[in-house]
Structure 1
Amino acid sequence: MAKKKFFDENGNEVKAKMKKPFYKKIWFWALVVIIIIVANLGGGSDDTATESDDSTQEVASETDTTESTEENAEPVSNESTEVEEPEDDVSTEFKSALNQAGSYAEMNMSKAGIYDQLISEYGGQFAEDAAQYAIDNIEVDWNQNALKSAENYASTMDMSKAGVYDQLVSENGEKFTTEEAQYAIDNVEADWNQNALNSAISYQESMSMSPEAIRDQLTSENGEKFTEEEADYAISNLE
């Protein structure tokens, strides 16, 4: 194809400068590079945002799991549990005191009576802590012991109801508590009239006392403590 010629206003031929195609110019490739860089940065930002969202979801999931576990977990008690001392840790003296206390209990003695017997210089001669250990660990029905003692006094010594009660609670006697003694009196089976008569016969035969003197002894607060009715029964049945 013939090149197109150009002339100036004087008719002289002018050589026209051919323009380079735009894709051969520097500014075009610079623009392409910039577009590519921007595109890459945009893609990376999306990936980073996605990864950030995933991390946030994972942290939230772990937090929910932790909170759920803490809510469902049973509370831990700060209270210490008291454990009974094993038998093997008890000293030989303590064991001996406990065994001896059991033997005294079979004799229908009271708690206070057993303790005093354990520490007595004429009895067990145990240390006070050993005796207390025995009292604290022995299993005895003290009401039943009081009742058996009451039955013994009533049947073998012909004592009155009031006399038996006083003997049960006396510091010089059995040393049962007032509650234990009252239980015994309320439940003992005894013929108090017959006891009064047996006591009257004993006074008559051993001391040759008159009926009136016997009556006074039977009802005296310093004597047998029978009731007036029981004493009358005894006197009226003397031979």
Structure 2
Amino acid sequence: MSEKKKKALYKRWWFWMIAIIVVIAIASGGGGEENSDQAKTNEEKATTTTATPKSEEKKETPVKEEDTIPREYKAALQKAELYAETMYMSKAAIYDQLVSEYGEGFPPEAAQYAIDNIEWNWKENALKKAQSYAETMSMSDSAIYEQLVSEHGEKFTPEEAQYAIDNLK
């Protein structure tokens, strides 16, 4: 490379370096006067505030029980209600779905909170699930019962499954 090209390249490099420094200075608020005026104003505000007398302090509001419930527990309960309402699942099946790594992935504590706090008619869910099996799969009552109570099926309790069979039309 010729000496002339080297000098030109060197000059360009310095030009860009200075340009970058100027841009950084401007972006970081290099106009010091504005910042110092704002700092003085903030300092004055801080020194002129006075303490509020205890009689005027806000009284603490009591903490509601629902405010102490972790967000994830509330989410698990909402998801449990959705499964119960739309898919007519049993408590055990919902719990398994909530904790499953292939399902919702909630921690066991959150899933258990959901199961302990959901208010649902599980017998009606068993009946709706039984009706679905009867209509779509033309299954016998005994086959439906077995599917409802099966550990690999719906996981309803024997009482819930029997209610479903007794009320199947």
TM-score, normalised relative to structure 1: 0.43
Match of 1:99 in 2: 78
**Equivalent of 1:142 in 122, 132, 148:** 122
Question: 1:90 corresponds to which residue?
Answer: 69
The residue identity in structure 2 corresponding to 1:184 is: A
Q: Please state how far the C-alpha of 1:138 moved relative to its aligned partner.
A: 0.6
Q: Which residue of 2 aligns with 1:169?
A: 149
* In 1: Cα distance, 2:103 partner to 2:110 partner: 14
Instruction: Give the Å deviation of 1:175.
Output: 0.2
Cα deviations by residue, 1:173-226 (Å, 9 ceiling, x for unpaired): 00000000000000010xxxxxxxxxxxxxxxxxxxxxxxxxxxxxxxxxxxxx
Take 2:89 and 2:66, find their aligned partners in 1: how far apart are those partners?
A: 25
Shift of residue 144, structure 1, vs aligned partner: 0.3
1:155: how far off? 0.6
How do 1:170-189 and structure 2 match up within 5 A?
A: 170-189=150-169
**Would you tell me which structure has more helix in proportion to its own residues?**
2
In structure 1, distance between residues paired with 2:77 and 2:104: 11
Aligned residues: 105
In structure 2, the partner of 1:235 is: none
Where does structure 2 lack aligned partners over 5 or more consecutive residues?
A: 1-63
> Normalising to structure 2: TM-score of the pair?
0.61
Distance 1:161 1:96 in 2: 36
Amino acid at match of 1:125: G
3-state SS of the aligned residue for 2:132?
helix
1:113 aligned residue (84, 89, 93): 93
Q: Can you list the C-alpha shifts for 1:69-118, whole angstroms capped at 9, x where unaligned?
A: xxxxxxxxxxxxxxxx7111100110110010011101100000000000
SS at match of 1:180: helix
Asked if residue 156 in structure 1 is aligned to residue 136 in structure 2, the reply is: yes
Q: Aligned residues: percent identity?
A: 64
Q: How does 1:29-68 map to 2 (within 5 A)?
A: none
- Could you tell me how far apart the structure 2 residues matched to 1:95 and 1:166 are? 33
- Separation in 1, partners of 2:118, 2:89: 13
Aligned residues: CA RMSD: 0.8
Structure with bigger gyration radius:
1
Deviation beyond 4 Å, 4+ runs, structure 1: none
